[in-house]
Amino acid sequence: MKQRTRIYYSEADKVEMWNRWQAGESMHDIARSFGRHHPSISRILTENGGFRPPPRVRSPRCLSLEERETISRGLACGSSLRSIATELGRSPSSVSREVQRNGGRAGYRANRADEAAWARAKRPKPCKLQGKPRLIRAISAKLEQQWSPEQIAGWLRREYPGNEYFHVSHETIYKSLFIQARGVLKKELMSHLRRERTIRRPRRNTLKNKGLGQIPDAATIRERPASAEDRAVPGHWEGDLIAGSNGSHIATLVERHTRYVMLAKVPSKDTETVVDALIKQARKLPADLYKTLTWDRGTEMKGHKKFSLATDIKVYFCDPKSPWQRGSNENTNGLLRQYFPKGTDLSVHSQAELNRVARQLNTRPRKTLDYETPAARFEACVASTV
């Protein structure tokens, strides 16, 4: 059987791979652009956990290739090491060590010596978490509580404002998880991240290309009050359904001002069932904290008039193919997939279980709230209405 030829990529090839990866291209697309298969690309991108390695630079204290060529010419002419060192402006001991470690007077070659020095200089940079056991324990504990690295980093700065020991970026936490060679955070902690990934992936803009139903007498999002648009006051909500297997669904509601989350169990997707569940949730809140509801164009809200009549809450609908118009709700649905993965039966979860998950989300600090929790912000709003 003929042995396959090993593939070698130049530094320029690797730079192009990382550029494409950070632009959002898939590994398969990158591989096709090089006329290769996916594994040959993934090997390069995953060995550093999906993080682009910083460019290597040569220290000015080290001998350059030009200096090594001067040494090689001097040796060929029979010059002493001291005279070569004087010509270079280096110490004789530096030139002597350079020659001895690269073949001696007889075997010294400038190019070979320069390549060997470049290879010897490659050392892993120590992780910022190394030697900080208290910080590692704090990060590990919060990861086990399903906090994201960004939430942890923000909370640490807020909790220890004057203590640099506890200040760390979320990217450092991700690197410590995805680059296991660092050996700082346990690999098992990766299971607590929002997404089940083994490498860091770049941000991508995606759209849901679903068939959109016709909603009778629908008020568009452009008719929504300005106070809802700028999130200045509480009481304006965004809603949607997340789907599971066997036709199971969960209704998700997010308050725009506080990012407070409510979840409702819905036995089916028909409009009567969904509207009844939303009416029940709405009656749990003070009227001042539930003024409008923004929904996508799913047919489950055909009965929006019944909902508005029962609750005095006006429903507004997003434009087709515009999920960003319900950005808080879309973000929350992504977070919920950690608890309710796609393809699983959502009907097995009781309302009590949904309330527990919502409570956990509401007691996490949020970057957009300056690392205050949605629960604390929402409770302050409730207190102000009493």
Phi, psi angles (nearest 5°) of residue 60: -65, -15
Question: Which pLDDT value is given to residue 198?
Answer: 63
* Per-residue pLDDT at 9: 80
Report strand pairing: 314-317 vs 219-220.
Answer: parallel
Query: Residue 208's pLDDT is what?
Result: 40
Q: Give the side-chain half-sphere CA count within 13 A for 20.
A: 20
125 contact partners, CB below 8 Å, separation of at least 6: none
Tokens of 363: 């007691």
Q: Mention every residue, 6+ apart, whose C-beta is less than 8 A from residue 118.
A: 58
Q: Is the dihedral of CA 184, 188, 190, 192 positive or negative?
A: negative
Contact 377, 369 (CB under 8 A): yes
Q: How many CA atoms lie within 13 A of 219 on its CB side?
A: 14
Q: What is the pTM of this model?
A: 0.51
CA neighbours closer than 13 Å in the CB half-sphere of residue 244: 19
Sign of CA dihedral 21, 23, 29, 30: negative
Q: Could you give the 3-state DSSP secondary structure of residue 189?
A: helix
Each of the 386 residues of the chain gets a pLDDT tens digit; together they read 455 566 778 888 888 888 888 887 878 788 888 777 777 787 777 776 777 777 777 777 889 889 999 999 999 999 999 999 999 999 999 999 999 999 898 899 999 998 888 877 776 666 778 888 899 899 999 998 989 889 999 999 999 998 988 999 888 888 788 775 555 777 778 777 776 666 766 655 343 443 334 788 889 898 998 888 888 889 999 999 999 888 899 999 999 999 999 999 998 889 999 999 999 999 989 888 999 999 988 889 999 999 999 999 999 999 877 888 899 999 999 999 999 998 899 999 999 999 999 999 999 999 999 999 999 999 999 888 76
**312 and 286 in contact (C-beta within 8 Å)?**
no
What pLDDT score does 212 carry? 38
Query: Under a CB-based contact definition with an 8 Å cutoff, are residues 112 and 102 in contact?
Result: yes
Residue type, 207: L
Q: Taking a C-beta distance cutoff of 8 angstroms, is the pair 237, 253 a contact?
A: yes
Report the side by side order of strands in the sheet with 249-255: 219-220, 314-317, 292-295, 236-243, 249-255, 261-266
User: How far apart, in whole angstroms, are the C-alpha atoms of residue 46 and residue 65?
Assistant: 32
